Amino acid sequence: MAVNKQKKGEILKDLKELFGRIKTATFVNFHGLSVKDTSALRRGLREDNVRLFVAKKTLIKKALGEAAIPGDIPMLDGEIAIAYPHTEDADITASARGVYAFQKKFDGRLSIVGGIFERMFRGKEGMLEIATIPSMKTLRGMFVNVINSPIQGLVVALSAIAEAKESK
């Protein structure tokens, strides 16, 4: 679909503003994804407070070049979208984790090609590592389990001692 010069200017302005304020973003190749699947992806990401922005690669590269983000811009092959946390209080790994979950579901029609994490460019491998980090809610649950485990063992041991004394 052809985009006129005025619309390209608006998109470029939006991209510059986006890259100026976000700390993290995931670049996604969605080649071969149907409209239905793309809508499902958007809905799923929206639940984690993540938005998906689709633009022409030339506009994305131009905005990234002016964003003053350290590192090398990853190769943006195929049809590219940008997944990013929508609010300041959103989990910074949510965009990569959300896309990674859908990547498994859509069998190669969706893939992470790189991104920005903590205001630095990351390659595909770096973003895949970030995508496998559990959510903050899950990490807190794991931490509580680690703290609870020794206490639970102590309670079981004291209960066994009490039962042994009662049976005598």
pLDDT digits (tens, 9 = 90+) for 77-92: 888 999 999 877 778 8
What is the CATH topology of the domain spanning 5-133?
Alpha-Beta Plaits (3.30.70)
Predicted confidence (pLDDT) per residue in 83-139, tens digit: 999 877 778 888 999 999 888 888 778 889 999 999 999 999 999 998 888 877 888
Instruction: Name the pTM for this structure.
Output: 0.78
DSSP for residue 22: -
What burial class does residue 21 get, using C-beta atoms within 10 Å of its C-beta: 0-12 exposed, 13-18 middle, 19+ buried?
exposed
Q: Domain extents for the chain?
A: 5-133, 134-168
